[in-house]
Structure 1
């Protein structure tokens, strides 16, 4: 008999996250993502997706980020229910609410005296990407283009990170209307970094937790 080596067989019931793991994961992911967006806001930089649109509109209108982020993402809940089901939609709505809430917490308790904009832009996008990855792996998203990207990935196998990168670059280019071009260049580099985190770490079938 030929030994073909150990075979890995995973039981869905034993590999799915527990409720406690999902709660802690969502809290960790949304806190991390919101802190990244806080750094971007402080650097007067943007990123892609509805988060980037929220930052962009905030710079132009002075409306608080947390308000814009919540309002812009609400219409995408319809797509989430239709394509991803109520479980995913509810997790996403909770994640959006947590990001908005944590944004207020950061603004209240973390006062930045001086922040290098290059560091803030790159670190902010990296933190946002890591946070978004955690939220994805616990069955939710941060709404908006994230929902579209996951729907495309489920339907075609085209990685969510690449889809987000396309949308995000369009949003970053729109920033030319609001912020100086050096900030836009930094924002574009940051958006690529964020989506590389997702493209390289969130592949269909690779992560067994969900």
Structure 2
């Protein structure tokens, strides 16, 4: 007779390290994507589109784009989730602007950049999901639908990402779009494989 493992609540320290570290993984992924002339999905992808169109800085764009989604976050997932998400998005915006001054990247293989950046962003997002947070925007909607209707967050996120990447045909060349899709697949593969109900008991 199998017994259900006890649910272990995350400590404040554990939540804090996730909120500090996860956006750094994603910021490094953004650096790789930008260095290779690629983009990704979600609100980060929307920021990339605006960056390529008007050369606006990605960090402030990320912060501004996510502002309308916090209302949905409060309504659908509560104040704690929304506050954690606000902190994560704010740190990602800061990290995205600070990181290029700390690391200088030379020539980067574009295929490697797409896959590695996708994996890193996926790991960062997975950390946030497991600590009841996200990077806002479409992620809030995806997590809400997974919790309320059982739809897989990874598949929902992938569908939205592909829509954003389709819009990128207006600002990037087909080769860059193809590699960006590869990066999105790598990102969502990490989430789809590792984020399944009942396999992770921390809250």
Q: TM-score w.r.t. structure 1 length?
A: 0.93
Residue in structure 1 matched with residue 169 of structure 2 by the alignment: 176
Contact 1:159 1:204 in 2 (8 A): no
RMSD: 1.1
Residue in structure 1 matched with residue 136 of structure 2 by the alignment: 143
Which of 3, 6, 10 matches 1:7?
A: 3
Structure 1 residue runs of 4 or more that deviate by more than 4 Å after TM superposition: none
Q: Note the C-alpha offset of 1:178.
A: 0.2
Which of 58, 67, 80 matches 1:74?
A: 67
1:84-163 alignment to 2 at 5 Å?
A: 84-163=77-156
Which has the higher Rg, Structure 1 or Structure 2?
1
C-alpha distance in 1, partners of 2:145/2:196? 13
Which of 159, 170, 182 matches 1:166?
A: 159
Which of 186, 195, 200 matches 1:193?
A: 186
Q: Note the C-alpha offset of 1:39.
A: 0.8
C-alpha distance in 1, partners of 2:4/2:174? 51
Q: Note the C-alpha offset of 1:120.
A: 1.1
SS class of match (2:33) = helix
Q: Note the C-alpha offset of 1:204.
A: 2.3
Residue in structure 1 matched with residue 44 of structure 2 by the alignment: 51
Q: Note the C-alpha offset of 1:55.
A: 1.0
Q: Note the C-alpha offset of 1:182.
A: 0.2
1:56-67 alignment to 2 at 5 Å?
A: 56-67=49-60
Which runs of 5 or more residues in structure 1 are unaligned?
Answer: none
